[in-house]
Structure 1
Amino acid sequence: MWDQRYADKDYVYGTEPNDFLREYAGQIKGPVLSLAEGEGRNAVYLASLGLDVLGVDSSAVGLQKAQALATSKQLTIQTEVVDLADFMPASNLYGSVVSISAHLPSVIRHRLYPLIEQSLKPGGLLILEAYAEEQLERETGGPKDIDMLMSLEKIQTEWPTLTPVVLQEVTRNIVEGKFHTGEACVIQFIGQKPL
């Protein structure tokens, strides 16, 4: 499905970074792991700040576009085609992990999230924005499966060892290509791994 979606000649989620990521970019330390990176807009933005970035995604088509976007801006990013259902990130390596619209079934989250926590260095940050459960009724983006949508309670349950720096549910106008456009309800979370 993702290879088909990304086969569009246009960047279907745009080429500009996510607004929440941009707002807190000054706190992000490298190296950075970006989950479900897709066409590269967030990884390329972080690389423009001088950060080393690895973007992982299940779509080789999306990551080819990510590399093309980086090249067009004379930047370098690392990419790797992975299935997040069995992805094993390196432990104690990343200064930050970025999860922007990485909507996963709970069975995958429950396996992956503890590994993501282990992959962060002490003091490292997780930066996450995902559509909230309340988004289910809207037609402005996000999966149509409540299990894949987030809530404040899910964040607190699924990231129990990270100290919340930001944890909020907000309604905001999103303009990210043709699939994420309009007023939307999202969960925003920045969690810090204890030192």
Structure 2
Amino acid sequence: MLLDHGDRLLSAAKGTFQGTGAKLSGKVAGIHWHYNTRSHAAELTAGYYNTRHRDGYLPIARMFSKHGVVFNFTCMEMRDSQQPEHANCSPEGLVRQVKMVTKTARVELAGENALERYDSGAYAQVLATSRSDSGSGLSAFTYLRMNKRLFEGDNWRNMVEFVKNMSEGGRKIPDSDSRGTNLYIGFIRNKNVEKTKEAALA
């Protein structure tokens, strides 16, 4: 029922926005709790029919591919080792599975962070998951939880380094966003940049 609903919704959205230049994406929740159990109870409860013997994300990826919609997924910064042992979590396993199904379905994959993180370890994990070594690489990344803490000393330095690394990894960052955000980051393109460029951070 959820897949049928999604198909109807994406069909309507495609009909509405076709020809406008808008890029549509659909958000899929990263339900990584109990991912390492036989039942995958948390995912099933949320409506994702993903079990040990059934890939619940491939039908979603195929639906997105059918309509040319980007598969937007979360928890890109999370590591299994940082999760409580009793919850049998595996955000890394879940992200790997989603990367593989989006590659199989030939649909673009975009990512987000789930938690408020400013440390280099979280950024390193995003960089690792953004690569296409196994499955799809990221076509876009949305940084969530931007607030005044981001602009504190080490936090800002980590963010600048992260944006630079994403850019140098072949992921194009727009020179400015459509809302004209005045956010300047130096040395985004390469180490010899003479002029500070604007970078859009969502």
Measured against the shorter chain, the TM-score band is 0.3 to 0.5
Which has the larger Rg? 2
